[in-house]
């Protein structure tokens, strides 16, 4: 609650610092992200109850794009047609996705590849390396 509000407040400061205006939509959007358990699609964000009925998809699209450019949110691929987004602030996460029902679980493991990034950067000449690791399988429910 208050915990989440504090979080949103600090995110808003971060946004202000990178030149974003404090609009209703931004605030609502951050609130959605802060309370989300999992990465969300633009549609899911737009449909969240924080926005009265719902919000214009184009607005959400541009808003989230701005947040992604400023590196406040991270984009995740999964295998669905729609992209998913989550806050960058939380530490890096890896995911386990059911290829039948599409459910997403956040994996609670020490990410095993972070140390590889430096090595790969050196060998390839790439800079600013990040990674994305996903496991796909069939969840218990879908196996029956």
Partner DNA sequence: TTAGATGCAAACGATTTGCGCGGAA
Partner DNA sequence: TTCCGCGCAAATCGTTTGCATCTAA
- Name the site residues for a copy of itself (rule: CB under 8 A): 75, 77-79, 83, 96, 98, 105, 107, 109, 112-113, 116-117, 120-121, 124-140, 143
Q: How far is the CB of 39 from a copy of itself (least distance, A)?
A: 13
Q: Contact between 115 and DNA (CB under 7 A)?
A: no
With b for 16 or more beta-carbon neighbours within 10 A and e for fewer, the 85-103 pattern comes to: bbbbeeeebbbebbeeeee
Distance of alpha carbon 12 from alpha carbon 31, whole angstroms: 10
Give 106's strand partners: 95
Q: How far is the CB of 21 from a copy of itself (least distance, A)?
A: 26
Q: How far is the CB of 90 from a copy of itself (least distance, A)?
A: 18
Among a copy of itself, DNA, none, partner that 66 touches (CB below 5 to 8 angstroms by kind): DNA
Of 5, 6, 35, 43, the residue at the interface with DNA (CB under 7 A) is: 43
Judge contact between 63 and 29, C-beta under 8 A. yes
Judge contact between 88 and 71, C-beta under 8 A. yes
Q: Contact between 20 and DNA (CB under 7 A)?
A: yes
Q: Contact between 24 and DNA (CB under 7 A)?
A: yes
Q: Contact between 57 and DNA (CB under 7 A)?
A: yes
First to last CA, the chain: 38
């Amino acid at each position: 609650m208050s915990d989440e509000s504090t979080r949103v407040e600090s995110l808003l400061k971060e946004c202000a610092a990178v030149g974003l205006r404090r609009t209703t939509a931004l605030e609502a959007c951050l609130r959605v992200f802060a309370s989300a358990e999992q990465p969300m699609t633009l549609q899911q964000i737009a449909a969240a109850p924080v926005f009265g009925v719902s919000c214009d998809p184009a607005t959400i699209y541009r808003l989230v794009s701005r947040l992604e450019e400023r590196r406040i949110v991270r984009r995740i691929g999964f295998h669905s047609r729609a992209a998913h987004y989550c806050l960058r602030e939380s530490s890096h996460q890896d995911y386990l996705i059911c290829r039948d029902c599409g459910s997403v679980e956040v994996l609670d493991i020490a990410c095993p590849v972070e140390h590889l990034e430096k090595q790969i950067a050196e060998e390839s000449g790439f800079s600013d390396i990040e990674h994305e690791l996903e496991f796909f399988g069939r969840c218990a429910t879908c196996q029956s």
